[in-house]
Amino acid sequence: MSESAITITNLTKRFDDITALDNLSLEIAWGELFGILGPNGAGKSTAVNILNTLLEPTDGSATVDGHDVVFDPEGVRKVIGVCPQEPAFYPHLTGAENITLMGDMHLVPKDVLKERVKTMVEKIDMQGHINRRAKDYSGGMIRRVSMLMALISDPKVALLDEPTVAMDPKSRRAVWDFIRELKEQGKAIILTTHYMEEAQELCDRVAIIDEGKLIELGAPEDLMEKYHAKNLEEVFLKLTGKKLREAI
């Protein structure tokens, strides 16, 4: 296990003449729950997509558990679990089959996989629905299944891109508890979210980025103190100069 879970050094990504990510540098420790916040188009998903090896950076470098995202993408994929912004799932498969498929991709031993699916499904309160076809799920159920698809391999690093969108408060709380449990297991977790109270509640540190640049980094309490704000949302508004409604 490398010293840092994730190391991002001067990471830059350009799409033609648009700079989506501009010289971003971060270091994320094991057992840290790290939030990436920013308005739409700030570069959050670009950063996550470089870390999950879907995009190659234009400049700079990034390593996950010591594996370089450009030179050792296979190594990166073995240690990450990715919950994408749009919950990609196979509608003709049941929730359990979708989760099991991802376990098969990570070659989780069969008996372990079966037991793990059962345990994790109980944790996010999906026992009664997990053997139904995913196409019949509500938006919240799909999100929960999508998160289990990301975490079934027991990854060292979890990349959760807005995992609680469209969830009811009860489900969201269940997912929060689940994420906290992952953190306690020593996993590094990157969480992008538009819910400021979620970031404030869960994250050890947050990075606020806008127009591809890192504009603030720190623990939510430290940032609130620094900017004399009642909550993280106020910090966000002060820093980005945008109403949250616009940002969302």
Count of beta carbons in the 10 Å neighbourhood of residue 25: 13
Query: CA-CA distance, 83 to 202, in Å (whole number)?
Result: 17
**Whole-Å CA distances, 231 to 117, 129, 197, 225:** 36, 36, 8, 9
Q: Which of residues 69-88 bind another protein (CB under 8 A)?
A: 74, 77-78, 80, 82, 84, 86, 88
Give yes or no for residue 199 binding another protein (CB under 8 A): no
Q: Which of 1, 40, 56, 90 binds another protein (CB under 8 A)?
A: 90
Query: Are residues 147 and 160 in contact, defined by beta-carbon separation less than 8 angstroms?
Result: yes
The residue behind tokens 């940002």 is: 247
**Whole-Å CA distances, 208 to 5, 67, 113:** 20, 25, 36
Residue of 122, 95, 113, 106 lying closest to 156 (CA atoms): 106
Q: Which stretch binds another protein (CB under 8 A): 58-66, 104-112, 222-230, 238-246?
A: 104-112
Give yes or no for residue 105 binding another protein (CB under 8 A): yes
Give yes or no for residue 137 binding another protein (CB under 8 A): no
Give yes or no for residue 212 binding another protein (CB under 8 A): no
Which of 148, 206 has the CB closer to another protein? 148
Which of 63, 153 has the CB closer to another protein? 153
Q: How many residues bind another protein (CB under 8 A)?
A: 26
Judged by the rule CB under 8 A, the positions of this chain that interact with another protein are 52-54, 74, 77-78, 80, 82, 84, 86, 88-90, 92-93, 97, 100-102, 104-107, 133, 149, 153
